[in-house]
C-alpha cells in the first residue's frame, strides 16, 4: 500500500496516489515552464531558418548574362574582369556597361571547364572565391527543420500531458478507483439477488479477514463473472460490493480497452493490472466484458489483430506466470455465449453467477427499495404491483416507480396512489396514451372487435393468462391493447400446449376482424410478428416440432450450439421442414381461434359493443362480460 503524505498529492494512472516532498505540486509548474520555453523557441527557430535560407541565396548586383552572351562578350573583348563564386555557382565582374553576373551549374564540370577556358583564351583576369561559411548551409538547412518538428511535437506532448502523461496517456487505463466509503450503495440497497450477493459477500469477507479461510486451506476465487439480461442488477451488485469492501476497488468498462491505434489495447490492460497489483489486495470490476473478451476466430488473413492482442494480454494478466497477485477480477456481461472459451475456464473466472429477472418476491423487494422516501397512498399494495410486473427487470421496476411519481406530480396529487402505478406499468409496456388521436367509425369498430377477439380466445383457452384490461385508446404505435395478467407464481417453463394456446390468442384479434368484417387489416402486424416468432422458436429452439422431433437447429460453431452467430447448422431440407412446420402451427392456431369466435359470436359482440362505448374495460365490468365465455378443451398435442 502506498504511504500517505501531507505534503503532496497527484493523480496518475486514472487513480489518486500520494507522493513525497511536494513533487505533485512541482510537476505541473515544471511542465508549464517547459511548455512556455518550447512555445517561445518555435518562432525563433522558424525565423532563424528563414534567415539562413535568405542568406544562402546569392545576392549579386549588376546585369544577368546568359552563358552564350558571356562567351560572345569574351570573344569581343568586352569583359574586363571576372570572379568565380564557388558556393553560389556564379561569375561576377565588370564589363563595358557596368557590373554583370552569370549563373552556371556547379555540378556540371563541362560547363565550368568551358567557361574557365573561355576566360583564359580571352586573357581576362579571374579569381576563384571559396565562400567557406556557405558550405555550412547544407547541414544547417537539414538540422533546423528537424529541430522545428521536434519542438512542435514536444509542445503537443506537453499539451496532452495536461490531462494525462503525454502521449503515453493513450496506453494508460481509464480505471476509476473508489476508496472505502466513496460508494453510497451497499448490499442493503440490492434486493432479489440473494444468491448472487452470497458469492460476493464471501469475497468481501475473505479480503477483509482471510485467516479463517486460510485455516481451511481455501483461497479466494480469482475471478467472478456476472451474467444475465440487461437491467437485472449486475453493475448494481458491483457498486454494492464497492460500498461494502474495505479494500481498494477499481472499475472500468470493457470498451475503454478498445482503441483504433495498434498496441494501445494491450498497453491499457498492462497498465490497469499494474495499478491494481500495486494496491493489492483489491477488487477490479470490468463492465461489459464482451467488448474485449469476444471469442477469437480464424478470420484474420494476416497482420496484427488488435482485438485479439488485447484479449491475449487480458488472459495473461488474469492467469499468467505472475498469478497469485491478490487481485480479484469481477466482470459483468449480458452476452456470455460470445466470450472466448479460454477466458471462461477455471483459474481465470472460477465462478459464474447467473442473474436472472427477479421472481415475485424479488420484484416486491426491489419495489420497496425504490419507494423509500416517496409519499405513498394508503391503498398502495406493493405485492399487487409485483404481481402485475411479471418479466420486469430491476431497471424496469425502478422506471415504473419513477414514472408513477412523475404522473402523480404532473396531476397535482400529494401522494402516489395505486392507479398511478398501474398506468406507469401500461406506459412502460405499450407507451403513453394518445387520446388526441381521432379514429374513424370504421377503425373504431375494427379495433374494438380486434381487442375483443383477443380477450375472448384467451378466456376460452386454458393455457393463457387472465385478461386484465382492454382498451381502444391508442398507446404508442398501437391502436388499442389487451393486457394479460399472470396469476399465481412465476413460471419457470412453458408447455407446448400453453404455447399453442398463446399463439391462438395472439391471432384472435386478426381472426375476429375477418369473422366480423370479412376483411383483414394491417393492424395485426405486431400480433403476426409475435406469433410467427413464438412458433419458430417452438420448432427451432424448444424441440417441439412433430416433424423434426427432439432437434434444435441453431447455428453450429466449433461443435457447440451458439446463438447470434452467422451461418446455419442445418441443411436446406431441414430449413424447408421448419417453414412447413411453422406454417402448420400458425394455421392450426388460426383454425382454433376461428372456431371459438364463431361459436361464441354473441359474447364477442357484447364485449366489442361495451368497449366501443366505454373505450376501456377492466375490473368487475370486464369480468362480467367474460363470465359467459365457454372454456374449450386444451389444444391437442401432436
Cell digits for 336?
Answer: 456470455
Cell digits for 369?
Answer: 427499495
Q: How far apart are CA 485 and CA 102, in angstroms?
A: 103
| Cross-strand partners of 10 | 17
Q: How far apart are CA 123 and CA 125, in angstroms?
A: 6
3-class SS at 561? strand
Q: What is the DSSP letter of 325?
A: -
Q: Which helix (H) or strand (E) holds 7?
A: none
CA distances from 48 to 43, 144, 507 (A): 8, 8, 84
Q: How far apart are CA 302 and CA 299, in angstroms?
A: 9
Q: What is the CA radius of gyration of the chain?
A: 41
Within 10 angstroms of residue 8's Cβ, the number of other Cβ atoms is 15
Q: How far apart are CA 185 and CA 369, in angstroms?
A: 12
- Based on the residue annotation, tell me whether 23 is a catalytic residue of this protein: no
Q: How far apart are CA 358 and CA 489, in angstroms?
A: 12
Q: How far apart are CA 370 and CA 399, in angstroms?
A: 9
- The single residue of 451, 513, 577, 590 carrying the catalytic annotation is 451
Buried b (16+ CB within 10 A) or exposed e, 454-471: bbbbbbbbebbbebbbbb
Which of the residues are catalytic? 451
Amino acid at each position: 500500500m502506498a504511504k500517505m503524505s501531507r505534503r503532496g498529492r497527484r493523480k496518475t494512472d486514472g487513480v489518486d496516489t500520494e507522493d513525497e516532498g511536494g513533487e505533485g505540486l512541482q510537476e505541473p509548474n515544471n511542465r508549464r515552464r517547459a511548455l512556455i520555453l518550447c512555445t517561445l523557441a518555435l518562432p525563433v527557430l522558424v525565423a532563424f531558418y528563414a534567415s539562413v535560407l535568405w542568406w544562402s541565396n546569392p545576392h549579386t548586383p549588376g546585369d544577368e548574362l546568359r552563358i552564350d552572351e558571356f562567351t560572345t562578350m569574351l570573344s569581343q573583348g568586352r569583359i574586363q574582369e571576372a570572379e568565380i563564386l564557388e558556393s553560389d555557382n556564379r561569375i561576377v565582374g565588370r564589363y563595358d556597361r557596368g557590373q554583370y553576373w552569370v549563373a552556371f551549374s556547379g555540378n556540371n564540370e563541362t560547363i565550368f571547364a568551358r567557361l574557365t577556358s573561355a576566360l583564359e583564351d580571352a586573357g581576362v583576369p579571374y579569381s576563384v572565391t571559396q565562400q567557406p561559411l556557405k558550405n555550412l548551409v547544407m547541414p544547417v538547412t537539414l538540422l533546423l527543420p528537424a529541430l522545428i518538428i521536434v519542438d512542435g511535437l514536444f509542445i503537443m506532448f506537453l499539451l496532452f500531458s495536461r490531462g494525462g502523461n503525454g502521449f503515453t496517456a493513450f496506453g494508460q487505463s481509464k480505471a476509476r478507483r473508489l476508496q472505502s466509503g466513496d460508494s453510497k450503495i451497499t448490499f442493503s440497497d440490492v434486493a432479489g439477488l440473494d444468491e448472487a450477493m452470497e458469492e460476493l459477500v464471501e469475497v468481501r469477507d475473505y479480503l477483509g479477514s482471510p485467516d479463517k479461510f486460510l485455516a481451511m486451506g481455501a483461497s479466494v476465487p480469482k475471478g467472478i463473472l456476472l451474467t444475465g439480461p440487461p437491467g437485472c442488477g449486475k453493475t448494481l451488485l458491483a457498486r454494492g460490493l464497492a460500498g461494502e469492501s474495505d479494500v481498494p476497488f477499481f472499475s472500468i468498462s470493457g470498451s475503454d480497452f478498445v482503441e483504433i491505434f495498434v498496441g494501445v489495447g494491450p498497453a491499457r490492460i498492462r497498465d490497469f493490472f499494474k495499478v491494481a497489483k500495486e494496491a493489492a489486495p483489491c477488487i477490479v470490476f470490468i463492465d461489459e466484458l464482451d467488448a474485449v473478451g469476444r471469442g477469437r476466430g480464424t478470420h484474420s488473413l494476416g497482420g496484427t489483430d488488435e482485438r485479439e492482442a488485447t484479449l491475449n494480454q487480458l488472459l495473461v494478466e488474469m492467469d499468467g506466470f505472475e498469478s497469485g497477485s491478490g487481485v480479484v477480477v469481477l466482470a459483468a456481461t449480458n452476452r456470455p455465449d460470445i466470450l472466448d472459451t479460454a477466458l471462461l475456464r477455471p483459474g481465470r473466472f472460477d465462478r459464474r453467477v447467473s442473474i436472472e429477472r427477479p421472481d415475485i418476491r424479488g420484484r416486491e423487494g426491489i419495489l420497496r427499495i425504490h419507494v423509500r422516501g416517496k409519499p405513498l397512498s394508503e391503498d398502495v399494495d406493493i405485492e399487487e404491483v409485483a404481481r402485475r410486473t411479471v418479466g420486469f427487470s430491476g431497471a424496469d421496476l425502478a422506471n415504473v416507480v419513477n414514472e408513477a411519481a412523475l404522473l402523480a406530480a404532473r396531476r397535482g396529487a400529494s401522494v402516489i396512489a395505486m392507479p398511478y402505478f398501474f398506468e406507469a406499468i401500461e406506459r412502460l409496456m405499450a407507451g403513453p396514451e394518445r387520446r388526441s388521436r381521432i379514429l374513424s367509425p370504421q377503425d373504431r369498430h375494427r379495433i374494438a372487435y380486434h381487442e375483443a377477439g383477443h380477450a375472448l380466445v384467451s378466456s376460452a383457452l386454458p393455457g393463457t393468462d387472465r385478461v386484465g384490461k382492454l382498451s381502444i385508446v391508442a398507446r404508442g404505435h398501437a391502436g388499442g391493447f389487451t393486457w394479460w395478467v399472470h396469476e399465481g407464481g412465476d413460471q419457470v417453463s412453458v408447455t407446448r400446449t400453453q404455447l399453442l394456446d398463446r399463439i391462438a390468442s395472439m391471432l384472435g384479434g386478426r381472426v375476429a376482424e375477418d369473422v366480423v368484417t370479412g376483411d383483414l387489416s394491417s393492424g395485426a402486424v405486431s400480433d403476426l410478428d409475435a406469433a410467427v416468432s413464438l412458433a419458430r422458436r417452438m420448432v427451432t429452439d424448444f424441440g417441439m416440432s412433430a416433424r423434426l422431433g427432439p432437434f434444435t437447429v441453431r447455428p453450429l460453431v466449433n461443435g457447440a450450439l451458439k446463438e447470434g452467430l452467422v451461418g446455419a447448422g442445418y441443411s436446406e431440407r431441414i430449413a424447408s421442414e421448419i417453414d412447413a412446420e411453422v406454417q402448420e402451427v400458425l394455421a392450426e392456431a388460426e383454425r382454433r381461434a376461428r372456431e371459438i369466435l364463431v361459436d361464441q359470436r354473441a359474447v364477442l359482440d357484447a364485449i366489442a359493443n361495451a368497449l366501443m362505448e366505454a373505450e376501456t374495460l377492466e375490473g368487475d365490468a370486464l369480468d362480467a362480460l367474460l363470465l359467459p365465455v365457454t372454456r374449450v378443451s386444451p389444444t391437442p398435442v401432436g
